[in-house]
Amino acid sequence: MNKFTPLKASGGRTVDEITGSRRLRRMRKADWSRRLVQENHLTVDDLIWPIFLVDGVNIREDIPAMPGVQRLSVDLAVREAEAAAKLGIPAIATFPRIEHAAKDLSGSHILDPENLINRATRAIKKAVPEIGIITDAALDPFTDHGHDGILREGIIVNDETVEQVAAAAVLQAAAGSDIIAPSDMMDGRIGAIRDALDANGFQDVAIMSYATKFASAFYGPYRDAIGTKGLLKGDKKTYYIDPANIDEAVREAEQDIAEGADMLMVKPGLPYLDIVHVLKSSFRLPTFAYQVSGEYSMIKAAAANGWIDGERAMLESILAFKRAGCDGILTYFAPEVAKLLKS
């Protein structure tokens, strides 16, 4: 009988001599063993679904830059929220497209208790009380210049904006919002919102801070969706974080935590997984990431052209957030992912 002779590597050693008999492929050999040792798991409980709102009744508008995503009138948003709840999605986040006639320099329509965000919140909460509702108190959907704050002589004024954002947050809480998620990146907004909510009896309404929102190139399709792309004058670099900066992002998060943030968010997502990991490791606070419109649209476009397997890329991208330390992910893929996980 022939005796097996270990193969020699180019340097004269056997593979066992090189690896010390530690063969990492052993646990990859079968599906059951790969599942047994999988380190991170994606579940429907990790998903938050952002939806876009539009005025009217029975309206469903396609967004060309975001294939598969639509703007919904309130009645249809209620139906989609019901479907999301049946899939087990814990929460939705709403973003409105406001008619241009309702916009002005200061975004004052955000202070109307009957604006689109607040009407949608009331309707969804009445029909689907078991699903969480996250609302954004930033002004950009409501301003005629597309900025997240009040514009005075070419400058986004911080303190006046904070005062208005805090007042809007109270109105959103009164409508039934469970989590206020202000994306404006003004200094001091978290503390002001917390004080305003508490003073008005909304101590149980949480704050998800867009603690580290970067001046990114990945927001384009979103701005199409809410109708601000053609309005934006200049850029948002005076209040969003420079994509080159890590330490500044940590300082922003630290400040928001000190002011009363219950959760942190990183935006965009995939290009900033290092930020997710640093924040989760540093603060151990519930940490989320927003897989933004540009990330979504790139995957959809590449899949439509046959360049990638869209379903696998979608799942892999979202699992990457879990690996980096996310407790949850805001993603336009949420219904697709939930259906796949359910099946």
Among all residues, which ones are annotated catalytic? 213, 267
Asked whether 222 and 292 are in contact (CB, 8 A), the reply is: yes
Question: Contact at 8 Å (CB) between 321 and 276?
Answer: yes
Q: With beta carbons less than 8 A apart as the criterion, state whether 225 and 52 touch.
A: yes
DSSP assignment of 187-232 equals TTHHHHHHHHHHHTT-TT-EEEEEEEEB--STTHHHHHHHT-TTT-
* Nearest in space to 118 (alpha carbons), one of 101, 141, 146, 89: 141
Element (H, E) at 72: strand 70-72
DSSP 176: T
Q: Find out whether 212 and 266 touch, Cβ atoms under 8 Å.
A: yes
Orientation angle between helical segments 273-283 and 310-324, nearest 10 degrees: 30
Cα separation, 308 vs 157, in Å, equals 44
Q: What is the dihedral of CA 95, 226, 276, 91, to 10 degrees?
A: 20
Q: Quickly count: other Cβ atoms within 10 Å of residue 37's Cβ.
A: 9
Type of residue numbered 238 = T
Distance CA 257, CA 264 (A): 8
Q: What angle do CA 76, 78, 79 make, to 5 degrees?
A: 65
Instruction: Report the amino acid identity of residue 221.
Output: P
